[in-house]
Amino acid sequence: MDFNRQEVINSQTYYEILEISDENASIEQIKQQYQKLLLLHHPDKSGFIMNNINNSDENIKNNYNKERKVEFIIKAWKVLRDPELRKVYDDELKAMRLKQDEIYNADIDLDDMEYNEEMRLYSIPCRCSGNYIITEQDLERGANITGCTTCSLKIHILYEVIDE
């Protein structure tokens, strides 16, 4: 299952979305947080209907943001409540964190890399004749360090996440 963590609000993990500080929290603790946040943010519980009567741009935007927040809360709950999905998610999260903690040899701006639209990846040659390659999916997940395909050198890719 592809969790696409970058899709969630400000690159938050599912634990952060549910405001859980301990990633070893029990299912019961996660469920309590899920229910609490769902009640707190659900548009039907927080003036969604009344705000729609006013129909101002700000009210529409606020309601949309609440709906999106609720979507993320539900998505986080669906993954964290299932022991198998949670294990896969935790493993991916751990791998991403380890990848981010690596030592790198240079900073490279994403704009300096060549983009392959068909394969949806960026690349730049290494001094050893190998290539540094990073996919759009890696970037969307928040990865910014990649290794050469031939040698052990790594680069740190500089890019800005643009919120839509």
**Residues 23-44: what's their mean pLDDT?**
89
Residue 115 has a CB neighbour count (10 Å cut-off) of 12
How many CA atoms are closer than 13 Å to the CA of 107, on its beta-carbon side?
A: 3
Distant-in-sequence contacts of 25-31, Cβ < 8 A, 24+ apart: 27/80, 27/81, 27/83, 30/77, 30/80, 30/81, 31/77, 31/81
Residue 159 has a CB neighbour count (10 Å cut-off) of 14
Cα-based distances in Å from 145 to 43, 104, 126: 39, 7, 14
Q: Which residue has the tokens 């705000």?
A: 51
CATH code, 103-158: 3.10.660.10
pLDDT of residue 31 exceeding 60, the answer is yes
Distance CA 161, CA 154 (A): 21
The token duo for 99 is 């990848």
**Residues 44-64: what's their mean pLDDT?**
58
Q: What percent of the chain has pLDDT over 70?
A: 74
Looking at residue 126, its pLDDT comes to 94
Looking at residue 41, its pLDDT comes to 82
Looking at residue 49, its pLDDT comes to 47
Counts of helices then strands in the chain (DSSP H, E):
6, 6
The yes-or-no answer to whether 5-98 and 103-158 have a common fold is: no
0.95 surpassed by pTM: no
Q: Where are the domains of the chain?
A: 5-98, 103-158
Query: CATH says 5-98 is which class?
Result: mainly alpha
Give the pLDDT confidence of 112-135 residue by residue, as tens digits: 999 999 999 999 999 999 999 998
**Residues 49-62: what's their mean pLDDT?**
58
Residue 105, SS3 per DSSP: coil
pLDDT band at 101 (very low <50, low <70, confident <90, very high): low
Going by C-beta distance under 8 Å and a sequence separation of 6 or more, which residues neighbour residue 88? 1
Distance CA 78, CA 90 (A): 14
